[in-house]
Amino acid sequence: MVKKYLLPENGQFYKANLHSHSTMSDGKMTPEQMKEEYQKRGYSVIAYTDHNVMVPHPELTDENFVALTGTEYDFDNETEENPYHLIPVCHICMIALDPDNVVQPCFTPTKYYDKVKAFNDPRYQVTYDESQPFYERSYTPECINDVIKKAREQGFFVTYNHPTWSLEGFSIYGKYEGMNAMEICNYGCVTEGYDEYNPWEYDELLRQGKQLYCIATDDNHNHYPIDGPRCDSFGGFTMIKADKLEYKAITDALVKGNFYASQGPEIYSLYVEDNKIHIKSSDAARIVVTTGLRHSYCFYPLEGDTINEAAFELRPDDIYVRITVFDKTGKPADTNAYFVEDLLGE
């Protein structure tokens, strides 16, 4: 059997923050400042996903950096009887697969005018299809699924964000269809006190047969000092493996799932050979295999030591496998889920 690489054999890992807010909406850093601070810490990619407004930043892309065009949409049915802090809401991000794709799907300029500083600033381009009626968003699975579908059709990578902060349980998010990925970690929410590491939520969707990837993001707003304890940057990142650091190479890798999510540890390689999965990583205190069934297992080093690899047999009766590498401080790195029937017997 030939080796099947689950993370590509060739290419390079690029560190990415796929969810961020700048001064274009309610963030404190300008897009330029964000680029500078993230680059200092080894990042090569930022998706600029300001609330409800999609502002491309092609001027920030160069040979060492890719600025992905994106936006975050919110859905809520807030009323006087149902104040905002009590109700579940839904947030999704959409990231344009092509740098030329600057037309915002399902847009309602009037409704979001006040939140959208960029809208009246001629320096920034906000584009929507003026021939379309204004899109009225509402907090229903039908509307949310319609926006996801339209965004996918219009060439966007769609992510489902921070279920814990949103107060959404499985009975709600289990109805959402067609997103490319969900946030297994949203670090900004973690810094605000929410338990926004979501492996369980990810498993619930996978067990239902939904094939989606997982990403870790910052969702940074930077209302606190960048080197202080409340800083909401640099805690959740996605390592994207691509041939080169160019816009389309990065988004192709996103669509293919050539990445993993991390809050610290690194994953160097991941492949299947003879129905066995092999993983190599930075120093791990344990490596956990999750299968979607009561079949999980764990690799440990000898006491006080660390391990850097694990290999395990695929079992045909499992639904999927995904692997989590924990470092000594308890920080995880999560692979995407791989469905067993796609991996066996090739």
Residue 218 interacts with Zn ion (CB under 5 A)? Answer: no
DSSP line for 40-93: HTTEEEEEE--BT-----GGG-BTTBEEEEEEEEEE----SSS-GGGS--EEEE
Smallest distance, Zn ion to C-beta of residue 21, A? 6
Task: Identify the residue among 196, 203, 219, 232 touching Zn ion (CB under 5 A).
Answer: 219
User: Cβ distance 62 to 36 under 8 Å?
Assistant: no
Element (H, E) at 18: none
Q: Nearer Cβ to Zn ion, position 72 or 168?
A: 72
φ/ψ region of 178 (left if φ > 0, alpha if ψ in -120 to 50, else beta) reads left
Smallest distance, Zn ion to C-beta of residue 146, A? 19
Which residues lie across from 14 on neighbouring strands?
240
Q: Nearer Cβ to Zn ion, position 90 or 314?
A: 90
Q: Nearer Cβ to Zn ion, position 17 or 61?
A: 17
User: Cβ distance 160 to 182 under 8 Å?
Assistant: yes
Name residues contacting Zn ion, limited to 63-102 (CB under 5 A).
72, 91
Interface segment toward Zn ion; rule CB under 5 A; list 120-128, 197-205, 213-221, 253-261: 213-221
Site string for Zn ion, 151-180 (x = CB under 5 A): ----------x-------------------
Smallest distance, Zn ion to C-beta of residue 54, A? 13
Q: Binding residues for Zn ion, how many (CB under 5 A)?
A: 4
**Spatial CA neighbour of 314 closest among 287, 346, 268:** 346
AA identity, residue 164: T
Smallest distance, Zn ion to C-beta of residue 161, A? 5
Smallest distance, Zn ion to C-beta of residue 38, A? 16
The separation between CA 247 and the C-alpha centre of its own chain, rounded to angstroms, equals 17
Which residues lie across from 320 on neighbouring strands?
339
Closest-CB residue for Zn ion? 91
Smallest distance, Zn ion to C-beta of residue 33, A? 17
- By the criterion CB under 5 A, which residues form the site for Zn ion? 72, 91, 161, 219
